[in-house]
Amino acid sequence: MPATEQLLSDPELLGSGWDLEPIVGGEGPAGVERLLDEALSRGARFAQAYTGRVAALDSGGLREAMLELAAIGELADRAGSYAMLAFATDTADPARGALLQRVQERGTELETQLLFFELEWAALDDPAAEAMLSGGAELAFCAHHLRSARRYRPHLLSEPEERVLAEKSLASSASWARLFGEQVAAIRVTIDGGERPLEAALSDLQSPDRDLRRRSAEAISAALEPGLRTRAFIYNTLVYDKSVDDRLRRYPHWLAARNLANEAPDESVLALIHAVRGRYDIPQRWYRLKARLLGLDRLSDYDRNATIASSEPLFSYAQARELVTDTYARFSPQAGEIARRFFDERWIDAPLRDNKRPGAFCATVYGVHPYVLLNFTAKRRDVMTVAHELGHGLHAVLAAGQGVFHQSTPLTVAETASVFGETLVFERLLAESGSGEERLDLLAGRIDDSVATVFRQIAMNRFEHLVHTRRRAQGELSIDDISAAWVESQGEMLGDAVEITDGYRSWWSYIPHFINTPGYVYAYAYGQLLALSVYGRYRETGEALVPRYLEMLAAGGSLPPERLGEIVGVDLGDPGFWDAGLALVDEQLSQAEQLAG
């Protein structure tokens, strides 16, 4: 049995499925129904008690109302989380799909019950709202949430209109997104006479064997082809749906709603995008160097993630667990203890399975604990993925005391702990490496990750920009139109350092972020550069930063991003902030160039 297959059939890995029963009190799907029944019952009583009366509340009354909303929100979140997590591990199971749809339908019913509160709160004038919020510590659990909600005042519609949009969303955007997810999860890549999940085939692109990389890339392109027209139609429909929503809500451009949700001013986001696009020389330098290290005149798109080592290091699931948890513990005993709980208490689902959702994520479940999904393929990059997702998990556990309204953060800050955790593990591997060749291999992997997280994500942001703006100006886009935008945006980043093959033109069509969360991808670059800056502060100050870093994570989303940055000595308002983060990536590339020389 090949070494990779042996590691992927290890009982410890195969037995690492998560336990979802704590979410529903051990009742399974019946517990989902119970939670929804209670949420809807309490929601109806809440609406009866408060409809038309929000303006008359004092601080104490507002606190009582928000505590009840938090309790209702937790019930609904637990029901929705159970259904979503169960579906993620088997998207082809009709029963799981039906449960997810049931939860979404009843969740929308609850949302329409409670819409009035947000609208009445937004309708208050600023002095009245601030007078209510003057309750101080008693309202700390929801104050930032309530202030942030008022930023949407210019974009809210009437209550009947909001109800219609909420109820129709299940038959429009939510259904299309689910169909896309099911289509992608069902893709099978045929290579060497066998079928493999898309995620496993994509991992072949890290192989030192160029022929395997080329054959895998061709097989992936072939596997994407049969459902391409359907996925393109789904994307067209959702892009148009967003344009209608933006027009009705008076958003000035396609990214404005995402920036508002991220608590990121348009100017700050544009500065990030311009700064990264202005340093596309970094990925192009790297890919030219990588071609030389691989003995190639020029990279093709399927070579970009290849290891430069003659053989690729493999890690068992146990090795990955010990490396990551021990590294976290060296940084902070508290962080290490939390990281170990994910493994010991079955908060992780790690093995590859048919019809499992590809990729990785960490889901916060309010009132319970986070859950991490992995697709472990025994590569070193999988170790970094474990470190990344446990960073999210650490953030969620530390911020749990903030409650429903403040436990989660805007997307721009949400990547900080994950990238910081990755960096801790990388720096340990680098420090323990032996030869210069091993150090160069590690640096190469890290630069690959930085290019993927910073530069590629901004290139994908550019792709989304082209698609959304052209769809609004030209009408429905053909597959060739969408693929042309993909090649244009990718080509700008890659320059003449990488050849884009014909098959790569369709690789936009399996990426879920474009479907589920339009405009999301720039948050990866934002979070990566923010985390690198925080890590730079850690290198400067050492142990003194640890309690401040944990304090920042424990604050969750109770403060604006700028205030969270201040806790660890980072100024997000500094115009040169992005350049400082990019300089750290440039520094790693310079080290690699010196080692290669």
Number of C-beta neighbours around residue 257 at 10 A: 18
Burial 298-336 (b: 16+ CB within 10 A, else e): ebbbbbbbbbbbeebebbbbeebbebbbebbbebbebbb
Which residues, including other chains, have CB under 8 Å from residue 556's CB and lie 6 or more apart? 395, 398, 399, 402, 406, 407, 408, 409
Q: Where are the alpha helices (DSSP H) in 89-125?
A: 94-123
The answer to whether residues 312 and 206 touch, using CB atoms and an 8 Å cutoff, is yes
pTM of the model: 0.84
Q: How far apart are CA 106 and CA 503, in angstroms?
A: 42
C-alpha pair distances (Å), 438 with each of 129, 166, 312, 491: 59, 54, 11, 31
Whether 95 shows a pLDDT value over 50: the answer reads: yes
**What kind and span of H or E run contains 372?**
strand 371-373
Distances in Å between the alpha carbon of 422 and those of 142, 271, 320, 567?
A: 31, 25, 12, 21
Q: What is the pLDDT of residues 103-156, one digit of tens each?
A: 999 998 999 999 999 999 999 999 999 999 986 789 999 999 999 999 999 998
Nearest CA-CA partner of 349 in 569, 86, 563, 171: 86
Fold of 13-167: Butyryl-CoA Dehydrogenase, subunit A; domain 3 (1.20.140)
State pLDDT tens for residues 193-206: 899 889 889 989 98
Q: Can you give the pLDDT at residue 522?
A: 93
How does residue 1 score in pLDDT terms, banded at 50, 70 and 90?
very low
Per-residue pLDDT band for 390 (boundaries 50, 70, 90) equals: very high
Task: Give φ, ψ of 372 to 5 degrees.
Answer: -115, 130
Q: In terms of DSSP bridges, do strands 498-499 and 299-300 run parallel, antiparallel, or are they unpaired?
A: parallel
Residue boundaries of the structural domains of the chain = 13-167
CA-to-CA distance for 238 and 178, rounded, in angstroms? 12
In the chain, the percentage of residues whose pLDDT exceeds 70 is 99
Q: Which amino acid is at 113?
A: Q
Closest CA to 444 of 380, 497, 350: 380
**Longest Cα separation, the chain:** 73
pLDDT in the model for residue 135: 67
pLDDT tens-digit series, residues 312-349:
788 999 999 999 999 999 999 999 999 999 999 999 99
